[in-house]
Every structure is written in structure tokens, then in C-alpha cells.
Amino acid sequence: MARECPGPPRPSTPEAADNRPTMKAEDLSIADPAVVGLPDPGLSPPTVAQSGDPFAALRIVHLLARTSLGRPIPVSELVARLNGEHLDWAFSSRVVAGVIVQLQANWMADIRTAEGIRLEDGALGPTVEIEDSARARTWLVGQAWRLDAECHDQLREFARGEGRATEG
């Protein structure tokens, strides 16, 4: 027979990050919180990078901001590096190229030139070349911060939805 917690959960305080109900630890019916031999439940499932996902785009832009500027880099090398750096993620050439195309559009809107980011098909597949300038690196850092803010917005929306996936 399951033991019920006394009374309804207390609402969270105004200082809390979200508006989920909270309970006192002593109100929970957990027999022994330190059972020896349990595996860590904090494992995260692998994530397949999707087009339009700011979390994937942030990782891609973060890598692009750290690459050598002014020389063509095969997209396949970027994919391999991303998959090596983020072992719980799976990136594809299609998703990486999609982020680069979005960066090109953003660059053209912000800088008013099409020459800053070039995505071209070569003998070894698509390559990306970003102009070798201080403004390019600074602009990429700004794009990463924009994506970071978008990721945090999604996390806040998720928290407000009480842990349920929300549409949007």
C-alpha cells in the first residue's frame, strides 16, 4: 500500500526558477535515499541533431567560431569533430550544412555582403570557408550567444510546462 504525502504540495517561492509545486524532503515517502549498488539514473539518452534545433546549432556555431578562418574546411571534418566532442550527440552533414546556410543568410542580413561565409561543393564534398577577419570571429561569437539565449528560452518554456514537452 502506497503512503500518501500529508497535505497538498506547497507552491514554489517567488525566487524559484519556475512555478512547480514543491514538497519538503521529509514529506516524501522514500525509505532509504542512499541505497548501495544503484546505478546512476542521470544518464542522458543520445540526441540526434535536428535541423532548426538551437541546441544543435549552438554546438555547430561554437565549433565554427573556433576553426581556422580563411581556408576551406570540409563539412565532413566538422561532422567528425562534432561527433567526437559531443559523444552523446549524432550530427549529420545535412544538419551541419543547414546551420551554415542559416549563418550565410544571417551574415548577408547583418553585414550586407555574401562573401563572408562560403559553402561550396568540392571534390571531397561540401566545404565551408569563413572570411579571415576580426569581424567574422566576433560575429560568430554573437551568433553563438543568440543561439544560447534561444536554448535558454526553450528550457524556461519547458520548465513552465512542468516538465512536459511544449509545442512551439
* Residues 57, 62: Cα–Cα separation, whole Å: 8
pTM beyond cutoff 0.85: no
Which amino acid would we find at residue 45?
A: P
Please give the Cα distance from 84 to 93 (Å, whole number).
14
Mean pLDDT of 120-138: 94
Q: Which CATH architecture has domain 47-160?
A: Orthogonal Bundle (1.10)
pLDDT tens across 1-40, in order?
Answer: 444 444 444 444 555 555 666 666 566 666 666 778 888 8
- Residue 47, pLDDT > 70, answer yes
Q: What is the pLDDT of residue 5?
A: 46
Answer for the pair 24, 32: CB distance below 8 angstroms, yes or no: no
List the grid coordinates of 119. 559553402
Share of the chain above pLDDT 90, in %: 64
Q: What is the pLDDT of residues 92-121, one digit of tens each?
A: 999 999 999 999 999 999 999 989 999 999
